[in-house]
Structure 1
Amino acid sequence: MYKSIIAYSLMVFAVMEFTPLQAETIAITGATIIDGNGGSPLKNGTLVIDGNRIIAVGKTRDIDVPAGARIIKAEGKYIIPGLMDTNVHLFIEMAVETLAKYEGQYDKLIIEAAQVALKAGVTTVFDSYGPRQPLVDARDAINLGEEIGSRIYLAGNIVGYDGPFSGDFWPDAKATTSPSFVKKINDMWVQDVGRRLVWMAPEQLGGALEPYLKKDIDFVKYGASGHSIGEMHFLTFSEKAQDVIVKTVKGAGLTVQTHTTSVESLRIAVEAGVDLLQHCDVTGPVVVPDSTIKMMAERQIPCAPLTMTVLGEEARIKFLKVFGASQPEANQEFIDSIQISRQNVRKMLDAGVPLLLSTDSYLNSKRVEEWFGISDAVESLTVLGEGHFHWLKAMEERGMDAMTMLMSATRDIARAYKIDKDLGTLEKGMIADLLILDENPLKSSGNYKKIHMIMKDGRKVDRDTLPTRRFLTQAN
């Protein structure tokens, strides 16, 4: 990730050097500023931006606005850092016809998805499973200013899992797809760090991982437990193997996180020293033991739960009973997990475990929405551009403090990914990613939807134009 930040800084410098618009000085005046650090909101505040960085924040009376600065009057508004999502999938298409139709253009679909996220106030996303090279191409195009969209950090493949047309995801597609196309798609995702690594001894893993760590990725995610229905309770890697993965990745200067869906995979990942736990609330029919939660809290390991609203839970359970009718026992794991998740999140909140906004969201074509019944979903986490609002509402329902909730969607995510020197708060020297809201987000989670303006890299986002090119978002 560190090399990505350096590359990003160089890209921004180049764009600022040759694009006069990005060198504009802007002063946003009169707003209540909630900087993301947890302190009291700053009423009647002024925030000054030069280029893509914040150069001053304070009481309006104490700020000398530079001559010639463009003034944005924001009396009665609220300024917060741009939102972040720890876990999205900008391109995880399941329809074979879509994969075939847009072959060679996946980066364009990823940019479309990044624009959908940005339009909804998510200025930074972390893509934890997807086709590495198209993600790199989209990320770089956005960072260079060639395209607009949420800032992208990417992992590529989940270490230990195979591609979309494998037993880890959607194996049924192989029945109607040519072997050559199946291999091409799977290889694009797997990048030689799939299930073959699961067969290896711990002492072999480090060497097998190193070539992938030298590729253009920003962080690493590995599977601590199985992904598909019926395998979520199985361990993917042993304790020793996970120790090797974590040490190898950290030794390469990258952050490491894990997909975990059982109490044992969670415990092992915590003891291995991961930087972030994805789906830490998902543990099937078993509540996370107090000893594991205590360890998470003591080590302050951030956890990204897939917390659903009450309405969302009810809709998902109804959907699973229909969709999983052919595998009732395995499908019951999901239903039980939803019900147990509520208890896990409550226990983690009480213990002081850092919880981060996470949606697992993606952009679906209309065909897939109809196929899975997603178009009828209620308050679904997995709908890109909407899921983050539902997560915030869900955490409000669970009793999370309003300021803690704001930080869980901004500063605390930046800290988990070790990019908090540039992003996550509204302070002098930080990149100017921010939202101006019409209502106070500390009063109600619903106020996060009341977006007056979005700024990314110090420039106003023209929301009405997004997405600029429609592929998966186009009408039937």
Structure 2
Amino acid sequence: MVKDGSIAINGITLIDGTDGAPIENASILIEDGKFVRIEKSPAEPFEAATVIDGRGKYAMPGLLDANVHLLDGLSLTNNFGGIEYLARYEGRLKELCEEAAQLSLKYGTTTVFDTGDPYRPIIGARDAINKGEVVGSRIYAAGAIIGQSGPFTRDFMVDGRTRATKRFADRLDSLWEWPGLGGELLLMDIEDVADRVQRHVETDIDIAKVFVTDHLVSSFQNSTAYLQFSHRVLERIFSIVQGAGLKLVTHTSSIESLDTVIDLGADVMVHHNVSQQVRMPDSLIEKVAAFKGWGAPQPVTNRFQHGLEAIGHGWARYGGGAHRDNLERMIQAGANLCLATDACESSIDRMADFTPEELTDRPWDLGRGSVYWLTAMVETGFTPAQALRGGTRDVAIAYGVDDKLGTVESGKIADIILLDADPLADVANVAKLNKVIKDGVVIDTAALPDNPVATVDGKFD
């Protein structure tokens, strides 16, 4: 009997996200949002309410991104349009998160791990998507970041308070820091820090992130990085977070900070190849490779890197030099690495200010950035198969959700993307999307975003 809402995909080449070889002439049956049957060359094609002819096409799990910020953290940094962004969209931040999740889904990323955004907007967007009220990538949310202050502080806009009213700045900072996780933690007694973190993990977050080093971007430009917490305070934070059953994500930007979080047992280490352009010693690379946790590096494509170098752009320091060398050696050493873009949604006005070099293969573009990550990792030393696993199964393993996501296997959630070309021949073929299926539903990607906010021109009537 054919079930309502069921989908059959017949005759497709399946790259299922495991270590197995591609399955040619595969048939896949989806019912009630799950994969229920997967067979190679069945005697008869599968029947379903919707039947998709997969001949000449390729299927793989929907992509997962281990590190996004659905609100535009980059625009908030160093006054890159940040005050304009906050003033224009205050009161609509949940809608921005939803729109950003739709942009991710539009390009085949079916699950994102938002490792830092204001609690209420991101949790509201997550819940609306989970309830089916809004279409979008599945969100796992960290809420505020432990040890990061709001947008009108040194962590984002150093002189932002000279350009805005105090009441407005206070309101936005408190939104980003709730429930009291900002820079004041750095001055507190260990028991007071523990109390704040305990309150945080008792909210409705899915994961938690801690700033081990600062987020002052000007310090990155000046090749400095500050350890924010003492080792004993970090150890206490890790104990509370992981004791609550949450995966702990770390922000590091120096050799010592990375060494520290490995010793403490971080679960996911974002952009851990960044070391302020100081080459990591071989002993640390070996330590990373032996570590059971996961690194979530942010490589850039050769084209993006060369473009920034050609115009003398300061952010050429981010993906090149020692940071590229660190990542190459991590790959060679066999470290656990998974897809992470740090992507966010910029307003259309902000994007209009970028040069062509800044826009070409821009790694922080939601959805499209995932394809750039895959391409960059192959250019840096991954095989295409490693890159595809890094963008699917390995993210799920890193966050402990591999029992339901990350591979195309019976019983798992039916997140799958259909491609018009072989991604094992060229990982950039992941951009050649034919269909996106999430939770067993074919997504009308052409209709996304269906409630444009930051992607429309800001005009006054």
- Whether these two folds match at TM > 0.5 is yes
Match of 1:387 among 369, 372, 379: 369
* Displacement of 1:70: 2.7
Match of 1:28 among 3, 6, 9: 9
Tell which deviates more after alignment, 227-236 or 425-434: 227-236
Matching residue of 1:174 = 161
Partner amino acid, structure 1, of 2:268: L
Q: Partners in 2 of 1:345 and 1:204 — Cα distance?
A: 37
Question: Residues 327-346 of structure 1 correspond to what in structure 2 (within 5 A)?
Answer: 335=317, 338-346=320-328
Question: Residues 55-66 of structure 1 correspond to what in structure 2 (within 5 A)?
Answer: 55-61=36-42, 65=46
* Displacement of 1:305: 0.9
Match of 1:351 among 333, 339, 345: 333
State TM-score, norm by structure 1: 0.89
| Cα pair 1:282 1:338 within 8 Å, conserved | no
Matching residue of 1:13 = none
Aligned pair in 2 of structure 1 residues 165, 62: CA closer, same or farther (>3 Å)? farther
Question: Residues 270-285 of structure 1 correspond to what in structure 2 (within 5 A)?
Answer: 270-285=262-277
Structure ranking higher in helix proportion: 1
Aligned pair in 2 of structure 1 residues 370, 75: CA closer, same or farther (>3 Å)? closer
Q: Partners in 1 of 2:54 and 2:46 — Cα distance?
A: 15
Matching residue of 2:239 = 247
| Cα pair 2:213 2:257 within 8 Å, conserved | yes
| Cα pair 2:300 2:319 within 8 Å, conserved | no
Match of 2:412 among 430, 444, 453: 430
Matching residue of 1:91 = 71
Determine if the alignment matches structure 1 residue 53 to structure 2 residue 41: no
Question: Residues 231-242 of structure 1 correspond to what in structure 2 (within 5 A)?
Answer: 232-242=224-234
Determine if the alignment matches structure 1 residue 138 to structure 2 residue 119: no
Question: Residues 49-448 of structure 1 correspond to what in structure 2 (within 5 A)?
Answer: 49-61=30-42, 65=46, 68-92=48-72, 94=76, 95-191=82-178, 192-228=180-216, 229-230=218-219, 232-317=224-309, 321=312, 335=317, 338-371=320-353, 373=355, 376-448=358-430
* Displacement of 1:226: 1.3
Gaps of 5+ in 1: 1-20, 325-330
SS of the equivalent of 2:219 reads coil
Q: Partners in 2 of 1:213 and 1:237 — Cα distance?
A: 18
SS of the equivalent of 1:30 reads strand
Query: CA-to-partner distance for each residue in 1:19-53, whole Å, 9 max, x for gaps?
Result: xx995121111001111011111110011100111
Partner amino acid, structure 2, of 1:227: H
* Displacement of 1:65: 3.4
Q: Partners in 2 of 1:428 and 1:364 — Cα distance?
A: 38
Aligned pair in 2 of structure 1 residues 373, 235: CA closer, same or farther (>3 Å)? farther
SS of the equivalent of 1:159 reads coil
* Displacement of 1:101: 2.9
Query: CA-to-partner distance for each residue in 1:394-439, whole Å, 9 max, x for gaps?
Result: 1111120111111100010011111111110100110000000111
* Displacement of 1:100: 2.3
Query: CA-to-partner distance for each residue in 1:202-232, whole Å, 9 max, x for gaps?
Result: 4543222100111111101111111112165
| Cα pair 1:316 1:377 within 8 Å, conserved | no
**Structure 1 residue runs of 4+, over 6 Å off?**
none
| Cα pair 1:220 1:249 within 8 Å, conserved | yes
The two structures, once aligned, show a CA RMSD in angstroms of: 2.1
* Displacement of 1:99: 2.0
Gaps of 5+ in 2: 77-81
| Cα pair 1:22 1:458 within 8 Å, conserved | no
| Cα pair 1:84 1:410 within 8 Å, conserved | yes
SS of the equivalent of 2:42 reads helix
Matching residue of 1:14 = none
State TM-score, norm by structure 2: 0.92
Q: Partners in 2 of 1:211 and 1:373 — Cα distance?
A: 44
Matching residue of 2:79 = none
SS of the equivalent of 2:320 reads helix
Q: Partners in 1 of 2:433 and 2:33 — Cα distance?
A: 20
Q: Partners in 2 of 1:373 and 1:46 — Cα distance?
A: 45
